[in-house]
Structure 1
Amino acid sequence: MEGNTTLYALPKPEVVLRWREQTTDDFRFCFKFPATISHQAALRHCDDLVTEFLTRMSPLAPRIGQYWLQLPATFGPRELPALWHFLDSLPGEFNYGVEVRHPQFFAKGEEEQTLNRGLHQRGVNRVILDSRPVHAARPHSEAIRDAQRKKT
């Protein structure tokens, strides 16, 4: 199950414990790193934030399928050294996935190849979200307009 809520806020400890109580041992979560790490800090100088997040989620450690790093569209090829440094600093006992949104990472050029090669070398999954259906919808409601803004 994708844990999208962790992108927006760190869950309270009692919520994490409730999630553990409500699931069986074979259930797997895929929690997103908080935006304070991926968006505001842009993966830089965020060791304390990462430690806080992983510590908070630790009651669910046996049920983590992967931790998911969703990067903003502004995070482009020039930022890859920060991504490599961040990924290399993470604990090795978990699986990780990275979702990029910068257009150059989808252009089938050297930038995309460099991204894919770096992820592969580190054993990190590439998460791909096809947001075209979201943008193809006519924005007849505030919910659709909001989704379109968030998926750029």
Structure 2
Amino acid sequence: MAGKTKAGWIRVGIGGWTYAPWRGPFYPPGLPHRRELEHAGRHLTSIEVNGTYYGAQKPESFARWREETPDDFVFALKGPRFATNRRVLAEAGESVERFLTGGLLELGDKLGPVNWQLAPTKPFQAEDFAAFLALLPGEAGGRALRHAVEVRHPTFRHPEAVAIARERGVAIVVAGDSDYPQIADPTAPFVYARIMGTSPDHPEGYAPAALDAWTARAKAWAGGGVPDDLERVAPSPAGRAVPRDVFLYVISGHKVRNPAAAMAIIGRLGR
């Protein structure tokens, strides 16, 4: 069900799967809560797990999530706040290691990117930012890891921040329809986008034209291109377009509509 273009995979989903107002609009009446992830897995192609931001999860939980979702499903995980909500990011090594050795490899092939979300009050400091990204290993337990960093302070709209992320192969999360700074410069072999503009005014969260636009952007990224209608900070490096996997999550906004928006984009990808 994941959208496979001639280029990279495009996976689209929501943040988490436990949200009472989704019972009815998204989850069928009477569906047991324990089967909500199974249902979400049949209609979406990825989920960003927010619970890992707030606390450690048991290895058995990761294994259960793996078993309850389709073979081509992928989970993105939020890195723990203990690593990112600190004045000096370079001091987060122990928290990063504890998280990466805490059972997430039980997801197997369903382990997607890790989103390290920085506090909105954390400004760009080149040396500290570079030191933090250096703490993020390219593999754990023999499995390749992909890292994204969600920067939310306007000072990160700086060419040096883009250059540092690009040197480490870490994706800067693209903030869509949001008050957070938009940095749509591809800096990794994949793209991670979080779109936050769903509204109660539309049954599918977004107007059809907006859903078309996000679908087109996802396809452009997957084909190795760069959408020309999003804000970038630095020139794109010269060279041949290389296909990328894309992870797009409908987050925040009018949350009750987020599954509908994600499914609408998935439907458009299949056309």
CA distance in 2, matches of 1:2, 1:116: 23
Unaligned ranges ≥5, structure 1: 107-111, 138-146
Residue type of the partner of 2:124? Answer: P
Contact 2:96 2:135 in 1 (8 A): no
Query: Which of 110, 114, 136 is 1:63 aligned to?
Result: 110
With structure 1 as the length reference, what TM-score do the two structures score?
0.74
Residue type of the partner of 1:90? Answer: L
- What do the CA deviations read for 1:62-90 (whole angstroms, capped 9, x no partner)? 22221111101222122x32221222232
Partner of 2:91: 45
Let me know the Cα RMSD of the aligned residues: 2.5
CA distance in 2, matches of 1:55, 1:25: 23
Partner of 2:120: 73
CA distance in 1, matches of 2:100, 2:65: 15
CA distance in 2, matches of 1:40, 1:14: 29
Greater strand content: 2
CA distance in 2, matches of 1:41, 1:49: 14
Residue range with higher mean Cα deviation, 81-90 or 38-47: 38-47
Residues 1-150 of structure 1 mapped to structure 2, 5 A cutoff: 1-40=47-86, 42-56=88-102, 57-78=104-125, 80-92=126-138, 93-106=144-157, 112-130=158-176, 131-132=178-179
Are the structure 2 counterparts of residues 118 and 30 from structure 1 closer, same or farther at C-alpha, using a change threshold of 3 Å? same
Are the structure 2 counterparts of residues 39 and 119 from structure 1 closer, same or farther at C-alpha, using a change threshold of 3 Å? same
Are the structure 2 counterparts of residues 28 and 41 from structure 1 closer, same or farther at C-alpha, using a change threshold of 3 Å? farther
Residue type of the partner of 1:94? Answer: L
Residue range with higher mean Cα deviation, 95-104 or 122-131: 122-131
- Other structure's SS at 2:164 match: helix
Unaligned ranges ≥5, structure 2: 1-46, 139-143, 180-194, 200-251, 254-271
Are the structure 2 counterparts of residues 69 and 12 from structure 1 closer, same or farther at C-alpha, using a change threshold of 3 Å? same
CA shift at 1:98, angstroms? 0.9
CA shift at 1:42, angstroms? 4.4
Q: Report which structure shows greater RCO (CA 8 Å, sep ≥6).
A: 2
Contact 1:98 1:127 in 2 (8 A): yes
CA distance in 2, matches of 1:28, 1:8: 20
With structure 2 as the length reference, what TM-score do the two structures score?
0.44
CA shift at 1:61, angstroms? 4.2
- Other structure's SS at 1:86 match: helix
CA distance in 1, matches of 2:130, 2:108: 23
Q: Structure 1 stretches (4+) deviating beyond 6 angstroms? A: none
CA shift at 1:32, angstroms? 1.0
Contact 1:100 1:128 in 2 (8 A): no
Residue identity over aligned pairs, in percent, reads 34
